[in-house]
Amino acid sequence: MALDSNTDRLMSDINVTPFVDVMLVLLIIFMVTAPMMMEGVDVALPQATARPLDAQKDNLVITVNKDQQIHISDFVVEPDYLREKLAKILENRTDREVYFKADKDVPYGVVAKVMAEIKAAGVEKLGMITVPEEEAQRQTLKR
């Protein structure tokens, strides 16, 4: 009976089990930490069609026009002083609710920056003012 001479050779198969274990652990870590790394502006989006606002109370409206000028109600405010002025106005108000509207031609970066300044001033609720589609179509047809 002859002995096989291949018994002293090394096994050339790769054991992938530790590799798979490490990859699964990394996948779980990334899945848990990814939502924490996302930054942005918190905006509560409506889940139904928009209804007109009640005009019974005096709403604070911040507007950005097509020239990128910022207005608090009817007063022009420099972008660098928006947070200070808004915080000063809100300290005398019981509701910390602000409505925001911007011209459709204003770049998204400007809108996001203004929204961040509004939230930094201590606004609890930030509402977006838009024109309903039917009204926009009617305005287009009138022209």
Query: The CATH number of the domain where 104 resides is what?
Result: 3.30.420.270
- DSSP class of residue 6 equals G
Would you say residue 52 lies in a domain? no
For residue 93, being part of any structural domain is answered with yes
Residue 122 placed within a domain? yes
Q: Does 41 map to a domain?
A: no
Among 11-15, 88-92, 111-115, 120-124, which is the least confidently predicted range? 11-15
Cβ burial 36-45 (10 Å sphere, 16+ → b, else e): eeeeeeeeee
Whether residue 81 is contained in a domain is answered as yes
pLDDT tens column, 34-87: 877 665 444 443 444 555 655 556 778 898 888 888 988 888 899 888 999 988
Total number of domains in the chain: 1
Q: What is the pLDDT of residue 34?
A: 82
Checking if the pLDDT of 26 tops 90, the result is yes
Is pTM beyond 0.85? Reply is no
> pLDDT band for position 125 (50/70/90)?
confident
In a domain, 36, yes or no: no
Determine, yes or no, domain membership for 11.
no
Tell me the two tokens of residue 118: 């509004």
For 74-116, what is each residue's pLDDT tens digit?
888 998 889 999 888 888 888 788 888 888 888 889 989 999 9
63 neighbors 102 (Cβ within 8 angstroms): yes
Phi, psi of 82 (to 5 degrees): -60, -50
Could you list the residue range(s) of the whole structural domain that residue 88 is in?
A: 60-142
Domain membership of residue 27 (yes or no) is: no
